[in-house]
Chains A and B, each alone.
Chain A
Amino acid sequence: MEHYNMNLTLKVWRQPNKTSDGKFETYQVKNISSEMSFLEMFDVLNEQLVMEGRDPIAFDHDCREGICGMCSMFINGRPHGPWHATTTCQLHMRAFKDGDTIVVEPWRANGFPVIKDLVTDRTSFDRIIQAGGFISVNTGNAVDGNAIPIEKDHADASFAAAACIACGACVAACKNASASLFLSAKVAHLGLLPQGYPEKKNRVLSMVSQMDKEGFGSCTFTGACEAVCPKEISITNISRMHKDYLFAGLSSEK
């Protein structure tokens, strides 16, 4: 692919802290290489801001290889930018051309309040996981991997759901700010395996209950979450979660 440099106009959301009002600020960046990642372009901009004695833009990032789920930018109206099945850190500047204007916003959802600039507080996801997104195991020797037979289809579906990196793009894209795709991925990931089966009912009831407390909406099956998910988590997981919830709720003795 041909290398080229570009000059860009960036409109970035700036907000000093959780309580203050934010606003968009416009920046110019020059000679950005098409080989750079989107976050590297932000590093260049931040160095420029530091050199000018201004406050650099706060944004979440960690692994920068698309597996940790920390990066979270809403780029030109789409979580993680224009590329399909790609996290912001894996988005490269060849997705843009010279002279483009790029609007960068934080995730917008009541469950993800903005802490500073583009950084949001996503601990609501941690609390949903703490409510039931685990399996209880006794410590001891590791069990032989082949000791428990697992149906191939279930293993595949579970592994596909386990790819969720909990970045929150599904919430950011959903018109209802619903966390259903994230929650359903965790429910499917654990519930489809024999190790997670015993706690299946309590898991879904507790996690849905926590999701309600955290301020996320209901799923209306528009499909926007699935379309923007960097890990291509299927929306059919949400139906599976609804089924689990229905059966668990009806058969629960509490």
Chain B
Amino acid sequence: MKWSHFFTSAVGRKIVMALTGLFLISFLIVHVGLNSCIFNDLPYFDHNDNGSMFNRAAHFMGASLVIRIMEIGLLAGILLHIIQGYAVEVKNRSMRSKGYQVNLGSRGSTWMSRSMALLGTLVFLYLVIHVAQFWWPSRVSHDLEKVTYNGIEMHNLYLRMYEVFQHGWVVILYLVGVAALGFHLLHGFHSAFRSIGVHNKKYLFMLKSLGYGFSIVVCLLFALMPVSMYLNWVSPFN
């Protein structure tokens, strides 16, 4: 069987979606872990941190060649997931030229499982805004304020976050984006494992539970970031 056909058949396309999806899930673990460093500024931990832990972690990620190379892999993964995702959706939608008068609707399936393309599109739009607000200024245009720790000068990404999340509408936009990501993951996490062939019911139950837990915890942490800055639970000025 030719490789081109292997990856473009009805099953192959889904295997590509699953593998890139799982890769992006692994990225989310790193991303949410690193960004959670902002919570070190909470009074419960170190109220005088003022974002130094987060800034230094972000600097480590930006300065490390390995991470920068992995960024290219990440970009490729995201693009493949988006392009293949739309290709699958367009193809699937074209398979029923004439629809039903009365639809099956939610009998037997969840809303998010039927709305992965819509949710994915919302996540994509959110991603464009997110990249423009943070990744672009820190990696490309370098127009962020500088801060120095232990004699090493670096971007004050924490300050940038704080400034961005002082606007209520931005916080709401982020919450919508994170919610879309959460619903996308609620179906995507276990569905990805099913697509690559996990059929053992014992593992499927485990993966479904893990997927629900993962989606809720990751999205809750992401949602708390803009909220805690907007409400000044953490800030660069303590």
A26 interfacial contact with B, CB 8 Å: no
A254 interfacial contact with B, CB 8 Å: yes
Digit string of A93-105 for contact with B (CB within 8 Å is 1, else 0)? 0000000000101
Contact of B98 among A108, A208, A211, A244 (CB under 8 A): A108
- Chain B residues whose CB sits within 8 angstroms of the CB of A242 once the complex forms: 11, 14-15, 194-197
**DSSP class of A's interface residues: helix, strand, loop or mixed?**
mixed
- Chain A residues whose CB sits within 8 angstroms of the CB of B104 once the complex forms: 77-79, 173, 224, 228
- Chain A residues whose CB sits within 8 angstroms of the CB of B107 once the complex forms: 77-78, 224, 227-228
Nearest CB of chain B from residue A78's CB, rounded to whole Å:
6
| Bound Cα distance from A173 to B107, whole angstroms | 10
- Chain A residues whose CB sits within 8 angstroms of the CB of B11 once the complex forms: 180, 208, 218-219, 241-242, 245
Digit string of B177-208 for contact with A (CB within 8 Å is 1, else 0)? 00000000001000100111111010010000
| Bound Cα distance from A236 to B196, whole angstroms | 12
Q: A77 touching B92 by the CB < 8 A rule?
A: no
| Bound Cα distance from A37 to B118, whole angstroms | 41
- Chain A residues whose CB sits within 8 angstroms of the CB of B103 once the complex forms: 77
A215 interfacial contact with B, CB 8 Å: yes
B68 interfacial contact with A, CB 8 Å: no
Q: A224 touching B10 by the CB < 8 A rule?
A: no
| Bound Cα distance from A242 to B193, whole angstroms | 10
| Bound Cα distance from A249 to B195, whole angstroms | 14
- Chain A residues whose CB sits within 8 angstroms of the CB of B98 once the complex forms: 108
Nearest CB of chain A from residue B100's CB, rounded to whole Å:
6
- For the A-B complex, the count of residue pairs with Cβ-Cβ distances under 8 Å equals 147
- Chain B residues whose CB sits within 8 angstroms of the CB of A216 once the complex forms: 10, 95
Contact of A178 among B5, B10, B195 (CB under 8 A): B10
Q: A240 touching B197 by the CB < 8 A rule?
A: yes
| Bound Cα distance from A221 to B103, whole angstroms | 18
| Bound Cα distance from A116 to B111, whole angstroms | 33
- Chain A residues whose CB sits within 8 angstroms of the CB of B15 once the complex forms: 242, 245-246
Q: B113 touching A236 by the CB < 8 A rule?
A: no
Q: Which residue of B lies closest to A235 (CB)?
A: B194
Q: B197 touching A243 by the CB < 8 A rule?
A: yes
Q: A175 touching B197 by the CB < 8 A rule?
A: no
B130 interfacial contact with A, CB 8 Å: no
| Bound Cα distance from A58 to B104, whole angstroms | 23
Q: A246 touching B196 by the CB < 8 A rule?
A: yes
Nearest CB of chain A from residue B135's CB, rounded to whole Å:
30
- Chain A residues whose CB sits within 8 angstroms of the CB of B225 once the complex forms: none
B12 interfacial contact with A, CB 8 Å: yes
| Bound Cα distance from A76 to B13, whole angstroms | 33
Q: A217 touching B102 by the CB < 8 A rule?
A: no
B221 interfacial contact with A, CB 8 Å: no
A110 interfacial contact with B, CB 8 Å: yes
Q: A209 touching B5 by the CB < 8 A rule?
A: yes
- By a beta-carbon cutoff of 8 Å, the part of chain B in contact with chain A is 1, 5-6, 9-15, 88, 91-105, 107-110, 113-114, 116, 187, 191, 194-199, 201, 204
List 19 additional contacts besides A11-B101, A219-B10, A252-B1; criterion CB under 8 Å. Answer: A79-B104, A108-B99, A108-B100, A111-B95, A175-B114, A177-B92, A205-B1, A219-B195, A220-B14, A221-B187, A222-B114, A223-B108, A236-B204, A239-B198, A240-B197, A242-B196, A245-B11, A246-B197, A249-B12
- The 4 lowest CB-CB distance pairs between A and B, nearest first, are A227-B108, A243-B197, A77-B102, A176-B92
Q: 26 interchain pairs (CB within 8 A)?
A: A24-B101, A105-B101, A108-B100, A110-B96, A176-B95, A208-B9, A209-B5, A212-B9, A212-B10, A217-B10, A218-B14, A218-B88, A218-B91, A220-B92, A220-B116, A220-B191, A221-B191, A222-B110, A224-B104, A236-B199, A237-B199, A242-B197, A245-B15, A245-B197, A246-B196, A246-B197
